[in-house]
Copies of this chain bind each other. A is one copy, B any other.
Amino acid sequence: MTAHMTPDDFRRHGKALIDWIADYYEQIETYPVLSQAAPGSIRAALPEGPPQEGEPFAAMLADVERAILPGITHWQSPNFFAYFPANASFPAILGELLSAGLGVQGMLWQTSPACTELETLVLDWLVGMLGLPEAFLSTGTGGGVIQDTASSAVLAALLAARERATGYSNVESGNDPRLRAYCSTQTHSSASKAAGVMGLGRANLRAIAVDATYAMRPEALRAAVEADLAAGLRPFFVCATVGTTSSTAIDPVRAIGDIAREFGLWLHVDAAMAGTAALCPEFRGLQDGLELADSYAFNPHKWMFTNFDCDCMWVADRAALIRALTILPDYLKNTATASGAVIDYRDWHVQLGRRFRALKLWFVIRHYGVVGLQALVREHVRLAQQFAAWVAADPRFELAAPVPLNLVCFRLREGGDDANRALLERLNASGKLYLTHTVLGGQYTLRLSIGGTLTEERHVQAAWAMIREP
């Protein structure tokens, strides 16, 4: 007697769950955006031990409603303005469902050729869709791969850069202690985390000063590289950001790229959130100079309606990345790999196994079409610009940084950090919207990030009304 769920039961429970999810989205605005759960309360609502005998699916779904939902911070709420978005969509959810249903593991081309070939194809599509350099196409020397997150992308870039800089010796023999890398004071913490992970050491990733717009100062980069060279050190890597996490500052990619070329540094460009804007030609100027990049990453799981996780990374020279990460034990050898005619994506990231994530990305692009995606991005940018104009026109508030795209950093002029912190806490405790903060120029600053799939003008208007409340 099998304990497995039968296909007929799966049809029944699956359809009930589809309806549950549709219901969830229809009533998502009724939940507090930021979970109001106290630490430990979710666990306390659940049994301390596992069941000995199996339970009916209805019991699980009831517990989801009763015990899990109060512990959800509703990332898909149209009133979620925190961090950066992680905007999902129905087509992407269906892609995830299909991926789970097929249950394939695409570590090698052979272990599901479609998992590899669809990913390569869709990432080639995106090169055109985003106006990326042709060197990133898989049909040349480069190619794209889906990483889980931008954290893994910057780590992979650092690894490829390290190997290229050391004649592909570090992977075998360990770090050259003279290696030095560069980012800005505003670069995402994942670069520093990766520098620690890879054994470079966080202190050996130099944080270059920024200008008044929080963009990296190229002349400060040059000075740091020259000083390190003069000290007998080995500069090998620089990370430029198009749209920093704190304030969507735009590093000058071309100027940084010129310095990278001059000194032989690997240039990685992190456009995790802002990269989606390049769907629209009018925003591509923000990443001018990208043809100087050795690697590039953006997250469709942030602003392109594709469920987390989905980071797209490209390299101009895939051989450098693969040499840093390939390893081939006997039990993974196969004729397709030996032929050299296929991509084995296990050589493009730290993990061996991988899910069929290209399906959701393919579903999103096909459902919306290029034109549909462009329209949604333009609307989010329009809403943010409008909000920024409201802030600028209100004497009680000030903008804390330029607003190139869809993130508005602002603060109360009076009352300092305490007043701004109190404002944020009042907003989030209301449950009606969720914002987070950053620190810019040493001052506590509120961030309103617009990119939710369901966010419309009325939600931004309501947010502004809440913010202005005395």
Contacts and interface: CB of A to CB of B under 8 A. Distances in A.
A195 B205 CA distance: 20
Given A20-B101, A174-B177, 19 more contacts: A3-B376, A14-B18, A17-B101, A18-B18, A42-B113, A50-B365, A52-B370, A71-B114, A73-B111, A83-B111, A86-B104, A88-B103, A93-B101, A96-B99, A105-B308, A151-B352, A170-B196, A172-B203, A175-B199
**Residue among A9, A10, A159 with most chain B CB within 10 A:** A10
A368 B54 contact: yes
Interface in A12-50: 13-15, 17-26, 34-35, 37, 39-43, 46, 48-50
30 contacts: A3-B368, A7-B22, A7-B26, A7-B90, A10-B22, A10-B94, A14-B18, A14-B97, A17-B94, A17-B98, A20-B101, A37-B113, A43-B118, A50-B365, A51-B369, A52-B371, A54-B367, A72-B102, A75-B112, A83-B111, A93-B101, A97-B100, A162-B199, A171-B196, A174-B199, A189-B329, A197-B198, A198-B198, A246-B330, A308-B355
A55 to B, nearest CB: 5
Given A14-B18, A46-B118, A73 B369 contact: no
Interface in A137-166: 148-149, 151-152, 155, 159, 162
B342 A39 contact: yes
A91 B5 CA distance: 7
Contacts of A198: 197-199
Interface in A214-258: 245-246
A113 B71 contact: yes
A359 B341 CA distance: 39
A462 interface: no
Nearest to A370: B52
A22 B35 contact: no
Interface residues of A, number: 160
A88 B100 contact: yes
A325 interface: yes
A351 interface: yes
Interface in A54-110: 54-55, 57, 59-60, 64, 67-76, 83, 86-94, 96-105, 109-110
Contact of A49 (B10, B94, B128, B171): B128
A210 interface: no
A372 B125 contact: no
A103 B69 CA distance: 12
A323 to B, nearest CB: 11
Contacts of A118: 42-43, 46, 68, 71
A453 interface: yes
**Residue among A22, A98, A114, A175 with most chain B CB within 10 A:** A114
A371 B52 CA distance: 6
A375 interface: yes
Nearest to A174: B201
A121 interface: yes
A190 interface: yes
A94 to B, nearest CB: 6
A97 B151 contact: no
A73 B152 contact: no
A57 B172 contact: no
B201 A148 contact: no
**Residue among A71, A89, A97 with most chain B CB within 10 A:** A97
A195 to B, nearest CB: 9
Contacts of A4: 89-90, 453-454
